[in-house]
Amino acid sequence: MRLAVVGAGWAGLAAAERATQAGHAVTVFEAAGMPGGRARSDDAGDGATDNGQHILLGGYARTLDLMRTVGVDVERALLRVPLRMTYADGSGLALPATGPRLLAAARALLGARGLGVGDRLSLVAMALAWQRRGFRCPPAMTVAELLRHVPTDRVRARLIEPLCVAALNTPMAEASAQVFLAVMRDSLFGARHAADLLLPQCPLAQLMPLPAVQWLQAHGATVHLRRRVTTLERQDDHWRVACASNADDPGETAAPFDQVILATPAGDAARLTRSLAPAWSAAAGALAHEPIVTITLTAPPRPWPAPMLALDADAIDSPAQFAFKLGDQPGDADRITLVVSAAGHWLERGSDAVAAAAVAQYRRVFGVADDQPVTLASVRADKRATFRCSAGLHRPARNILPGLQAAADWVAGPYPATLEAAVLAGEAAARAFVQSRPS
Ligand X SMILES: Cc1cc2nc3c(=O)[nH]c(=O)nc-3n(C[C@H](O)[C@H](O)[C@H](O)COP(=O)(O)OP(=O)(O)OC[C@H]3O[C@@H](n4cnc5c(N)ncnc54)[C@H](O)[C@@H]3O)c2cc1C
Q: Does 419 bind ligand X (CB under 6 A)?
A: yes
**Min. distance of Cβ 243 from ligand X in angstroms?**
7
Q: Which is nearer to ligand X, 155 or 200 (CB)?
A: 200
**Region from 6-14, 71-79, 173-181, 395-403 binding ligand X, contact rule CB under 6 A:** 6-14
User: Binding mask 295-324 vs ligand X (x if CB under 6 A, - otherwise)?
Assistant: ------------------------------
Q: Is 37 one of the binding residues for ligand X (CB under 6 A)?
A: yes
Of the candidates 143, 417, 429, 430, which one interacts with ligand X according to CB under 6 A? Answer: 417
Cβ partners under 8 Å of residue 247, min gap 6: none
Nearest approach, Cβ of residue 32 and ligand X (Å): 4
Identify which of residues 152 and 231 has a Cβ nearer to ligand X in the complex: 231
Residue 361 three-state SS: helix
CB of 423 to ligand X, least distance (A): 8
Stretch that binds ligand X, among 124-132, 136-144, 260-268, 324-332 (CB under 6 A): 260-268
Closest CB to ligand X among 120 and 289? 289
> Is residue 10 involved in binding ligand X (CB under 6 A)?
yes
User: Do 425 and 419 meet the contact criterion of CB atoms below 8 Å apart?
Assistant: no
Please tell me whether residue 195 adopts helix, strand or coil conformation: coil
State which residue, 120 or 387, has the beta carbon closest to ligand X.
387
Query: Looking at beta carbons only, is 51 or 246 nearer to ligand X?
Result: 51
Span from 151-159, 173-181, 313-321, 412-420 in contact with ligand X (CB under 6 A): 412-420
Q: Which of 11, 19, 123, 374 binds ligand X (CB under 6 A)?
A: 11
> Which 8-state DSSP code applies to residue 142?
B
**Region from 37-45, 90-98, 150-158, 350-358 binding ligand X, contact rule CB under 6 A:** 37-45
Are the CB atoms for 261 and 433 separated by under 8 Å? yes
122 or 294, CB closer to ligand X? Answer: 294
* Shortest spacing between CB 53 and ligand X, in angstroms: 6
Cα separation, 126 vs 121, whole angstroms: 9
Q: Does 39 bind ligand X (CB under 6 A)?
A: yes
Interacting span for ligand X (CB under 6 A) from 10-18, 282-290, 309-317, 431-439: 10-18
Rg (CA), the chain: 22
Single out the segment in contact with ligand X by CB under 6 A; choices: 74-82, 107-115, 263-271, 281-289: 263-271
Closer Cβ to ligand X, 174 or 268, answer by number: 268
Task: Work out how close the CB of 118 gets to ligand X at its nearest, in angstroms, rounded to a whole number.
Answer: 33
Nearer to ligand X, 89 or 352 (CB): 352
CB atoms under 10 Å from CB of 421, counted, come to 24
Residue 207 touches ligand X, criterion: CB under 6 A: no
Q: Does 422 bind ligand X (CB under 6 A)?
A: yes
Work out whether 409 is an interface residue with ligand X (CB under 6 A): yes
Answer yes or no whether residue 38 interacts with ligand X by CB under 6 A.
yes
Site residues for ligand X, 354-383, by CB under 6 A, read 382
Positions in the binding site for ligand X (CB under 6 A): 6-12, 29-32, 37-39, 51-52, 54-55, 228-229, 263-265, 268, 292, 294, 382, 385-386, 408-409, 417-419, 422
